[in-house]
A = this chain, B = another copy of it.
């Protein structure tokens, strides 16, 4: 029997765990979202935190999400996706495609951190309300400078790959869906939730990014997932938060 994939992540937010969930869902591969599973021993938050407080695990995670697969315990979203990519058929063959897909994922991860820091520019240990003035300044920079810069980069990659690949299909790497496509969908979706005005405006200059986003959302398995109860709604505990004052 093959080992089942276990995702350990906070049960009430999309957060960084969602990038891993999207990969499993798009691949149609069974996985346990451990903290959200009822009636399973060691489920919920204790199971998650055990990884950090376990005294002997040779590869202790610094922070969730954490993937357990057989004896492997892997943290860091981009590392998890790099591990899963070939196993789920969500990355091209060969070192060049894998490295490039991973490099894109790392840049998406940077953008995610910056999106998070718009509402927590001072400390993750403080409430948003305790850093609201700073958040307004940081969000203004994110909307005006950083978000357009990131989108322009993704747009350039999509345009170049479209030329090189020649196919009508739109992907970041090569001619088929990769985990980077899924992650870019999630980044755009999150920014559309958190900064609807700024993101819509920025996407006017990134039409291929918008098209990729829409195509991923129409992917058969993804569309089913996004409408299911497994997809947690965006909320103001997650990475992408809708605070209207940060979008104007």
How many residues of chain A are within 8 Å of chain B by beta carbon?
A: 42
Q: A232 contacts the other chain (Cβ, under 8 Å)?
A: no
A60 within 8 A of B: yes
| Interface presence of A64 (CB below 8 A) | no
Complex Cα gap A100–B137 (Å): 37
- Kindly list chain B residues whose C-beta atoms are within 8 Å of the C-beta of A102: 76, 79, 82
Contact A161 B122 (CB under 8 A): no
A88 on the interface (CB 8 Å rule)?
Answer: no
- Please determine whether A58 and B161 come into contact, CB atoms closer than 8 angstroms: yes
Bitwise, A109-139 to B at CB < 8 A (1) or not (0) is: 0100100010001110110000100100110
A60 touches B107 (CB 8 A): no
* With contact pairs A56-B160, A60-B153, A60-B156 given, residues A121 and B134 touching in the complex (Cβ less than 8 Å): yes
A123 close to B106 (CB less than 8 A): no
Instruction: Pick from B83, B110, B137, B157: contact of A134, CB below 8 A.
Output: B137
A200 at the interface (CB under 8 A from B): no
List 8 A–B pairs whose Cβ atoms lie within 8 Å, in order of A's numbering.
A56-B160, A60-B156, A60-B160, A82-B99, A117-B117, A121-B121, A121-B122, A121-B134
